[in-house]
Amino acid sequence: MKAAVLLSLVAAAAAGGCKNWGYPTTTIAGIEVVDTQIVRDALSLIKNSGLKDYVVKHQIRSWLFGAQQLNNNATLKSIVDPQAQAITILLHDLGWDQTPDSPWTTMDLRFEVDSANGMRNFVRSHPDGKQISERKLQQMWDAIALQGAYGLASQKEPLVWGSINGIANDYRGPGVFGINETIYNQIVAEFPADDLLTGTNETFKWFCETKPETTYDTWVEGWGTYFVDGYDATGHRQVDQFRTVF
């Protein structure tokens, strides 16, 4: 983490005091994780959804990385609600569902927004969702919506940045965010990551092919430019709207 982010976490802990969240826990792939009904239901949701296997494994690995980051850092663990983080990370790619008539994927919204909306609907409709405040739920929504905007997310609340770090760890591998090679290998041994990059590439190409309007002028645009025949963001970007005045 950047020094400024660490300082903000320490300041928040000092202001709010350390907190023992008191959630029941279990162990998955050697990692201690929250084991509440709403977290179990979030896990069940992605396992039984139309999401492809590589997406499900990615979300589970990301959750485990995020949980271990909290386990490694007492200050972070005292201020980031591990149940909220678990739900956020487990459901952060609901918008990757490519099945026809998906309940999560729309044709007019960015996948990040589809995923964030899906997570929020899940929480609000769950019997235990009332335990999560609207303020916290907004931070969970922000974490999913900003998952590709690290420069923005790093200045947000610890729950937002802490959730996104878990997701990022699945792509960046060991040696970052406190995840050593031993921890990384034990997670990947149970939930293999050999199909992560191929699956991600295919998914982003699918967005550019099927809902290109949601990819123009975003970080996904490059997949359309490089890999999708006929894809052209020209005229759809912010710069195209402004350059006509010069």
For 77-115, write each residue's pLDDT tens digit.
999 999 999 999 999 999 999 999 999 999 999 999 999
Query: Which two tokens mark 9?
Result: 């976490």
**CB-based contact 84:136 (threshold 8 Å):** yes
One digit per residue, pLDDT tens: the chain, 246 residues?
Answer: 444 454 454 444 444 444 679 999 999 999 999 999 999 999 999 999 999 999 999 999 999 999 999 999 988 899 999 999 999 999 999 999 999 999 999 999 999 999 999 999 999 999 999 999 999 999 999 999 999 998 898 899 999 999 999 999 999 999 888 899 999 999 999 999 999 999 999 999 999 999 999 999 999 999 999 999 999 999 888 888 776 655
**CB-based contact 46:31 (threshold 8 Å):** no
Determine the Cα–Cα distance for residues 90 and 169; give it in Å rounded to an integer: 14
70 CB neighbour count, 10 Å cutoff:
26
Say what the pLDDT of residue 233 is. Answer: 93
Answer positive or negative: Cα dihedral of 219, 113, 58, 200: negative
Say what the pLDDT of residue 244 is. Answer: 61
Determine the Cα–Cα distance for residues 89 and 65; give it in Å rounded to an integer: 10
- Nearest of 210, 218, 209, 212 to residue 237 by alpha carbon: 218
3-state secondary structure the chain: CCHHHHHHHHHHHHHHCCCCCCCCEEEECCEEEECCHHHHHHHHHHHCCCCCHHHHHHHHHHHHHHHHHHHHCHHHHHHCCHHHHHHHHHCCCHHHCCCCCCCCCCCCCCHHHHHHHHHHHHHHHCCCHHHCCHHHHHHHHHHHHCCCCHHHHCCCCHHHHHHHHHHHHHHHCCCCCCCCHHHHHHHHHHCCCCCHHHHHHHHHHHHHHHCHHHCCCCCCHHHHHHHCCCCCCCCCCHHHHHHCCC
pTM of the model: 0.90
Residues 6+ apart with CB under 8 A from 157: 139, 142
Determine the Cα–Cα distance for residues 167 and 176; give it in Å rounded to an integer: 12
